[in-house]
Structure 1
Amino acid sequence: MTGGQLASNILIIAIVFYFAAFFVAAEFALVQTRKSALESALEEGKGNKRKLTIALKMVQNLNEYLSTTQVGVTLAGIILGWIGEATIEAMIVDVLQIAPLGTTAMHAVGAVLGILLLTYLEVVITEIVPKNLSIEMPMKMMMLVVTPLHYFHILFYPFVQLLNISAAGIIRLFGLTPATESNDVLTQAEILRLSRNAVTGGKLDKNDLIYMQRAFDFNDKIAKDIMVDRTSLDVVDITDSVKTVVNNYLREGFSRFPVVANNDKDRILGYVYIYDLIRQAQVDDSILVSKLLRTIITVPEVTPIQGLLQQMIQKQTPIVVVLDEYGGTSGIVTDKDIYEELFGVVKDEIDNVSSEYIIKTEDGGFKISGKTTLYDFERFFKVRNKSFDESESVTIAGYLLENYKVKRNDIITIDQLDLKITEFNRNYIDWLEVKHHPENKSEKSSEE
């Protein structure tokens, strides 16, 4: 091989290496670039609109453009195998001239080393490097390759179409359906799996994944799954007075009560709202709740939650009755029940005190924070202590420090409860242990 021919072959190899790397980079950029990312860039006006539009078209017709990259990679491989091996072998043989080897041996060694060196360069330069670049920054690589790939696609289009038709025909011979862009649609499980990987990689907030999971679960549930069962319903009778229901509210704490006829939960006539009752009580609390009755809607147990929410919005009602297959009352669903399916348990004023401050222990007692307010303490343990009302302190820790000389492990009895100081730091009570006083507990057992 003459010097001029060797130089021209090296130049051809370098050009083919470049094109091979380009087609591999284009292939992985097409696969890695998300359609949603291109659509978002177009909507926000980020980047070159023409390039983004062409890139979006490519991603939407992925099989067609991947075939173009495969044609380019294959042609580059053929040219490298045809010219590259002989050229590198000739270069190695020239180097081996200084070695004490025969002509046949030199050509044999040159052929082996040539194949190894060419394979190494081809894999590293035209495969691994462009692949990693496209995976690491798919959008940037897509914007770099989109225009040349567009023109290569136009140039190779007839050949690409012939290849695609031929491949589809062979696939159908095996009784299979050729892949289309619709095959790229992800299932819920795949979306969640990808989202978990995104959380692990720091690309997605953990709370976003939680809400996504709840949204999928939300669509799979029906009214029966989230309703308050009829056995747990607190109802009022249509013949009850406003005064009676207000007293019921003060005792139970519910802001809405289903109203029934003849105390029959299968005959729910509507519901009353505490705001209406309190306002009426200021005028005349002796009238019947029938005068303040609000309309309530009914739905079957199998109603999807999403459809149930739409009905509640359209009817502007925060409570619905869930009917069983026989038309009887199965339970009720409130707007709060639906919100908690998406956002988790949201405690309101009638719920127990937050578990952040009062924690049940394995021995049946409770570990409570010194920051727990006196009102929450009374409400949780269902006690009423007059000295709490007279105290200037707001928290249980403040009350104990105000009225007792306490230290760690001291036990103070308040009504039927024993309060043990478990964590006492810098003259402040951090945590207490609360148990029922043994005497009161035994008295209660004997009464039962």
Structure 2
Amino acid sequence: MLTQAVFIVILILVNAIFVVTEYAIIRVRSAEIDALAAKGNLRAMRAKGVIGDLDKYISATQLGITFVNLLLGWVGEDIFIHLLQPLFISLGISDSFSQTLAVIFGLLIITYFTITIGELTPKAFAIRKYLSATLWLSYPLTIFYKIFKPFIWLLNVSAALIIRLMGIKPLENDSGIHSQEEIRQVILQGRKAGVIDKTEQQLIEKIFDFNDKLTKEIMVHRGEMIVLNINDSREKIYEVVTEEGYSRIPVYKDTVDNIIGIIYTKDLISASEHRQLIMLHDIIRPAYFVSETKNIGILLREFQKNKVHMGIVVNEYGGVEGLVTMEDIIEEITGEIMDEYDTESPDIIKAKDQEYLVNPFIPVNEFNEKFKASIPLDKGYNTLGGFLYYVTGHIPELYERIDYAGFTFIITSKQRNTIKQVKVIKNKK
């Protein structure tokens, strides 16, 4: 009797080990095991084989749990008949019914201890200590799997056949790979739990969105480009370079659609130290042209490969649509990068009732949202300034007045061909 009781305790503990093993190998991440294996951890090296073929080893744990439970039922029935049947007989219950009651109560007692000690406790332990459990229990599981491999193979094949008959495709070995949406949900949960801060969440979100963007979505539009004419005078060249503060400026001939190269301000400074007359032909460098529909992830790799920092964006007909820089691409991940020459100011400043000073580079959709306006989108422009170029059909003059859909736009600041500030007046209906 005592031997049978000890055997039941051992079986419950063995069941607990199988449960710990099952939950641990499901919970552990392969990256954690790979990192330890790379450091020479022998247990991690063994665990890699288990994690890499998870379906088979989960089947092994399930087989072990099933064997143990069958043995518990078989051994437990006999021991509890001997323990409880005399008690029920002494209470005046018939032999046959007392045996049935003994079996029922015995199974209830075994089930209670199996669930608490053999299931719930090891499950909670495995969830918290999954890495240690995986490292320590993978090797015994491997031995168990090798012993019962034919039977486990038969079970897996049978299960796969039933799944196929149900019209369900069996999971592949890469089923543990998470989709982008699943990773986003994990990040969101980490943010709510305080494990990931807001900045980290935003960076990761932007990285996921990065490859979905096209060059035309981030470029500086044609009307906002700072450019030089190949025939500009020395004074004009210096004026543009000193006022704008850019390190690279495109150069055109005749029209902006004919960009013939780019000048570097460092080349200009170097040339000015050696001669008075500066010809742009002497210091101009080749321009790098990119399609407006190019994915910015591909564009970034091209810039890195070719050691390029600025590209001229062209449409399908070869017309210039704008320019894009390495900084523009990186800002899609990090947000706007402000250098010592940049000054940050709000896009919208309220001047007085119904009058606002607005940055012409504000996106049209943002302007519409702020002012409850209805400027049409997808017309070849993305900013308020681009819209004003489009609606007038020319480069607006300083103090030019433009009326549109209940708004009056007045150009209040302009630098050569670039609008710098717009007064927006909401007309009363």
Alignment of 1:190-269 (within 5 A): 190-201=182-193, 203-204=195-196, 206-262=198-254, 264-269=255-260
**1:12 and 2:7 correspond:** yes
Question: Is the 1:243–1:286 Cα contact (8 Å) retained in structure 2?
Answer: no
Q: Secondary structure at the match of 1:267?
A: strand
In structure 2, the CA distance between the partners of 1:302 and 1:205, relative to structure 1 (3 Å rule), is same
- What is the match of residue 434 of structure 1? none
Question: Is the 1:246–1:278 Cα contact (8 Å) retained in structure 2?
Answer: no
Alignment of 1:177-196 (within 5 A): 177-196=169-188
Deviations 1:119-178 (A, max 9, x none): 221111111111111111111011221121111001110100111111112222223222
Q: Secondary structure at the match of 2:308?
A: coil
Q: Secondary structure at the match of 1:350?
A: coil
Match of 1:41, as an amino acid? L
**1:60 aligned to 44, 52, 63, which one?**
52
In structure 2, the CA distance between the partners of 1:285 and 1:210, relative to structure 1 (3 Å rule), is farther
- What is the match of residue 291 of structure 2? 300
Alignment of 1:345-384 (within 5 A): 345-353=336-344, 363-364=350-351
Question: Is the 1:256–1:271 Cα contact (8 Å) retained in structure 2?
Answer: yes
Alignment of 1:369-408 (within 5 A): none
- What is the match of residue 19 of structure 2? 24
For structure 2, the residue ranges without an aligned partner over 5 or more in a row are: 353-422, 425-429
Match of 1:170, as an amino acid? I
How far 1:92 moved relative to its partner? 4.1
Alignment of 1:35-434 (within 5 A): 35-45=30-40, 47=41, 49=42, 51-88=43-80, 90-93=82-85, 100-103=91-94, 110-201=102-193, 203-204=195-196, 206-262=198-254, 264-353=255-344, 363-364=350-351
In structure 2, the CA distance between the partners of 1:361 and 1:327, relative to structure 1 (3 Å rule), is closer
CA distance in 2, matches of 1:7, 1:223: 78
Deviations 1:191-233 (A, max 9, x none): 2222333444455555444332222222222212211111211
CA distance in 2, matches of 1:199, 1:90: 58
CA distance in 2, matches of 1:361, 1:333: 25
In structure 2, the CA distance between the partners of 1:306 and 1:173, relative to structure 1 (3 Å rule), is same
How far 1:332 moved relative to its partner? 0.7
Question: Is the 1:235–1:258 Cα contact (8 Å) retained in structure 2?
Answer: yes
How far 1:248 moved relative to its partner? 1.4
CA distance in 2, matches of 1:204, 1:113: 50
In structure 2, the CA distance between the partners of 1:179 and 1:9, relative to structure 1 (3 Å rule), is same
Answer with 215-224 or 145-154: which moved more.
Answer: 215-224
Q: Secondary structure at the match of 1:312?
A: helix
How far 1:238 moved relative to its partner? 0.6
Q: Secondary structure at the match of 1:333?
A: strand
Deviations 1:47-88 (A, max 9, x none): 4x1x21221011110011111111111111111222224434
How far 1:9 moved relative to its partner? 1.9
Q: Secondary structure at the match of 2:261?
A: strand
| TM-score computed with the length of structure 2 as normaliser | 0.75
CA distance in 1, matches of 2:83, 2:191: 51
How far 1:276 moved relative to its partner? 2.0
Q: Secondary structure at the match of 2:148?
A: helix
State the percentage of identical aligned residues: 31
Aligned residues: 353
How far 1:234 moved relative to its partner? 1.4
How far 1:313 moved relative to its partner? 2.2
Q: Secondary structure at the match of 2:105?
A: helix
| TM-score computed with the length of structure 1 as normaliser | 0.72
CA distance in 1, matches of 2:284, 2:218: 25
CA distance in 2, matches of 1:158, 1:325: 62
Match of 1:342, as an amino acid? I
Match of 1:21, as an amino acid? A
How far 1:89 moved relative to its partner? 5.3
Match of 2:308, as an amino acid? T
Q: Secondary structure at the match of 1:265?
A: strand
CA distance in 2, matches of 1:344, 1:38: 35
CA distance in 1, matches of 2:61, 2:329: 50
CA distance in 2, matches of 1:345, 1:89: 78
- What is the match of residue 401 of structure 2? none
How far 1:362 moved relative to its partner? 7.4
Deviations 1:348-380 (A, max 9, x none): 133223x7xxx7897559xxxxxxxxxxxxxxx
Question: Is the 1:242–1:289 Cα contact (8 Å) retained in structure 2?
Answer: no
In structure 2, the CA distance between the partners of 1:281 and 1:336, relative to structure 1 (3 Å rule), is same
CA distance in 2, matches of 1:121, 1:334: 67
Question: Is the 1:235–1:260 Cα contact (8 Å) retained in structure 2?
Answer: yes
Q: Secondary structure at the match of 1:320?
A: strand
Question: Is the 1:323–1:329 Cα contact (8 Å) retained in structure 2?
Answer: yes
CA distance in 2, matches of 1:327, 1:138: 59
Deviations 1:229-263 (A, max 9, x none): 1121111101013331221123333332111111x
How far 1:307 moved relative to its partner? 1.9
Answer with 197-206 or 120-129: which moved more.
Answer: 197-206
Question: Is the 1:243–1:285 Cα contact (8 Å) retained in structure 2?
Answer: no
Match of 1:38, as an amino acid? I
CA distance in 1, matches of 2:276, 2:160: 80
